[in-house]
Amino acid sequence: MKISFYGKSGIGKTTIVSNLAVGLAKRGFKVLQIGVDPKRDSHLSIVKKFIPTVVEVIEAKSQKNEDFSIEDFIYEGYQGVHCIEAGAPPAGIGCGGFVTGETIKILKQFDRLDYYDYYLYDVPGDLICGGYTAPLQYSDLSYVIAGDDFNSIYSVNRLLEGIKEKSKGYDIKIAGVIVNNHNQKERISKYCEELNLPIISEIDEVHALKTETLKTTIYEANESLNVFEKEVQQFEKIVDAIIAQSHETATLNNPDPLSFEDLIKSYRKLTFVEA
């Protein structure tokens, strides 16, 4: 099962994806987490060190005329989760879709394209160009992490636009929204209700802060500190939902996104401003 996770910058997407990767691995699944972000840090809380990106490895080996192995690209971390970092093209040139394509080529070359039970793509959620919709081409399901602010809701709507376009040639479904910060959810809940888009789970925003401080996953921190059992259980509920939806893809429907004008009108109404 190949799943892409999107979300606006700073929403806690990488934190959530890393914890879900560990949660799935704890259930006995083989998991590969694929970082598709210029920050190239998707793997950090799992592997505990920066790993080279796919593009960096290819360039370095090519310059020395050396062959490369799968171990040059994939690193194992906590709970046996494997990580690979696609990286990004140089700033100002190139396309994010290129690095995704090169990553897929490497996985295919070393017979890793169908090796894992779960492939988790950690992708920027702004979809500023077609390149960052490329993971949708290789995904069975997609989730978006969102808060209650306009930029979060815009990212959800933008992802729906990307899925609508990609679904013309690929069988990709949006599974739903994971709300980060369940204490504030009125606007994102109303938006999802209007589009008949399911909210999969709601988690405390404090997760991102705790993990940022600890530089690890909530699962690993709880093993040593034994103070995050509530947080672990919240992630376990999302893991349950992912496993269940993995077997129900045929029943999922992709709602139509709102036009930008309608999105603005809807948001203004939800913030008690006369549209």
Q: Which residue ranges form the domains of the chain, and what is each CATH number?
A: 2-270 (3.40.50.300)
Q: Is the pLDDT of residue 275 over 50?
A: no
pLDDT 10s digits, 149-160: 898 899 899 889
**Among 81, 106, 85, CA closest to 31:** 81
Confidence category of residue 70, pLDDT binned at 50, 70, 90: very high
Judged against a pLDDT cut of 90, whether residue 64 lies above it is answered with no
φ/ψ of residue 72, rounded to 5: -70, -20
CA separation (Å) from 236 to 19, 22, 89, 100?
9, 10, 35, 29
Q: What is the mean pLDDT of the chain?
A: 87
Written as six digits, the tokens of 194 are 């209007």
DSSP 203: E
- pLDDT tier at 121, thresholds 50, 70, 90: very high
Q: Tell me how far CA of residue 178 lies from CA of 161, 223, 238, 247, in angstroms.
A: 18, 25, 8, 19
Query: Residue 176: which residues within 8 A CB-CB, separation 6 or more?
Result: 143, 197, 198, 199, 200, 241, 245
Region 61-73: mean pLDDT is 90
Q: φ and ψ at 33, to 5 degrees?
A: -100, 125
Report the C-alpha gap between 173 and 11 in whole angstroms. 22
pTM score over 0.85 = yes
Helix H, strand E, coil C: the string for 8-65 is: CCCCCHHHHHHHHHHHHHHCCCCEEEEECCCCCCCCHHHHCCCCCCHHHHHHHHHHCC
pLDDT tier, 79 (very low <50, low <70, confident <90, very high otherwise) = very high
Residue with more model confidence, 227 or 13? 13
pLDDT tens, 175-211?
999 998 767 788 999 999 999 999 998 887 655 545 5
Q: Please tell me the least confidently modeled range out of 69-83, 127-141, 172-186.
A: 127-141
Q: Tell me what pLDDT residue 122 has.
A: 93
Tokens of 100: 């995704």
Is 172:142 a contact under the CB 8 Å cutoff?
yes
Lowest mean pLDDT among 6-10, 35-39, 116-120, 205-209: 205-209
Q: What whole-number percentage of the chain has pLDDT above 90? A: 49
273 against 195, higher pLDDT: 195
Sheet holding 173-180, edge to edge: 75-76, 82-85, 31-35, 118-122, 2-7, 141-146, 173-180, 199-203
Where does the pLDDT of residue 219 fall: very low under 50, low under 70, confident under 90, or very high at 90 and above? very high
Lowest mean pLDDT among 19-23, 66-70, 212-216: 212-216
Structure confidence at residue 12 (pLDDT):
86
pLDDT mean over 7-20? 89
| Mean pLDDT to the nearest integer, 239-248 | 92
Contacts of 27 (CB under 8 A, 6+ apart): 239, 243
Predicted pLDDT of residue 273: 45
The predicted model gives 99-111 an average pLDDT of: 92
